[in-house]
Copies of this chain bind each other. A is one copy, B any other.
Amino acid sequence: MSGDGAEMLARATWSALVEPGDVVAGTVVDLLGAVGALEWVRAAVRSGPDLAGLEERHGPLDDADRRRVAKAVARWAVRLPDCDARRDLEHLDRLGGTLLVPGDARWPSALDDLGSEAPFCVWVRGEPDLGAVLAPSVAVVGSRAATSYGERVAFDLADGLTAEGLCVVSGGAYGIDAAAHRGAVARGGRTLVVLAGGVDRAYPAGNARLLEAVVGAGGALVSEVPPGSLPTKSRFLQRNRLIAAAGRATVVVEAAWRSGAMSTAHHAARLLRPVGAVPGPVTSMASAGCHRLLREGVAVCVTDAAEVRELAGVIGSGLEAAADAARSADGRAARHQDSLDPVSSRVLDALSRRVPTDVDRVASLAGVTVAEARGVVGLLELSGWVVRRGTGWVAVRIATS
| Contact surface of A with B, Cβ cutoff 8 Å | 18-19, 22, 71, 74-75, 77-79, 82, 149, 152-153, 230, 232-234, 256-259, 278-283, 285, 287-288, 290-291, 294-295, 300-304, 307, 327-328, 330-331, 334-335, 337-338, 342, 345-346, 348-350, 360, 363-372
How many angstroms from the CA of A75 to the CA of B77 in the assembled complex? Answer: 92
Q: Is the CB of B22 within 8 A of A367?
A: yes
A86 to B389 alpha-carbon distance, docked (Å): 36
Closest residue of B by beta carbon distance from A70: B369
**In the complex, residue of chain B having the shortest beta-carbon distance to the beta carbon of A236:** B349
Are B74 and A371 touching (Cβ within 8 A)? yes
- Shortest 7 CB-CB contacts between residues of A and residues of B: A279-B279, A258-B331, A294-B301, A19-B367, A282-B303, A74-B369, A232-B349
Interface centre among A82, A234, A283, A335 (most CB of B within 10 A): A234
- Contact: B71 with A369, CB < 8 Å? yes
| Cβ contacts under 8 Å, A368 to chain B | 75, 78
By the criterion CB–CB under 8 Å, are A307 and B331 in contact? no
Query: How many copies of this chain sit in the oligomeric assembly?
Result: 2
- Residues of chain B with a CB closer than 8 A to A281's CB: 149, 279-281
A296 CB to closest chain B CB (Å) equals 9
Given the complex, which residues of B lie within 8 Å of A335, measured CB to CB?
258
Given contacts A78-B367, A280-B280, 11 further A-B contacts (CB under 8 A): A74-B369, A233-B346, A256-B331, A258-B331, A258-B338, A279-B280, A279-B282, A279-B301, A280-B281, A288-B327, A294-B301
B152 touches A283 (CB 8 A): yes
**Chain B: minimal CB distance from A372 (Å):** 7
CB of A184, distance to nearest CB on chain B (Å): 19
B232 touches A346 (CB 8 A): yes
Q: Do A346 and B19 touch (CB < 8 A)?
A: yes
A367 touches B294 (CB 8 A): no
Residues of chain B with a CB closer than 8 A to A74's CB: 369, 371-372
The complex places the Cα of A279 from the Cα of B300 at a distance, in Å, of 12
A77, B295: Cα distance in complex, Å: 51
Bound form: Cα–Cα A295–B153 in Å: 18
Closest partner residue, chain B, to A290 (CB atom): B279
Determine if B282 and A295 form an interchain contact, defined as CB atoms under 8 angstroms apart: no
Query: Shortest distance in angstroms between A120's beta carbon and chain B's nearest beta carbon?
Result: 14
Q: Which residues of B contact A331 (CB under 8 A)?
A: 256-259
A294 to B280 CA separation, bound complex (whole angstroms): 13
Neighbouring B residues of A288 by C-beta, 8 Å: 303, 327, 330
Given contacts A75-B372, A283-B152, A285-B330, contact A301 B307 (CB under 8 A): no
The answer to whether B153 touches A327 (Cβ under 8 A) is no
Evaluate contact between B291 and A78: CB separation under 8 angstroms.
no
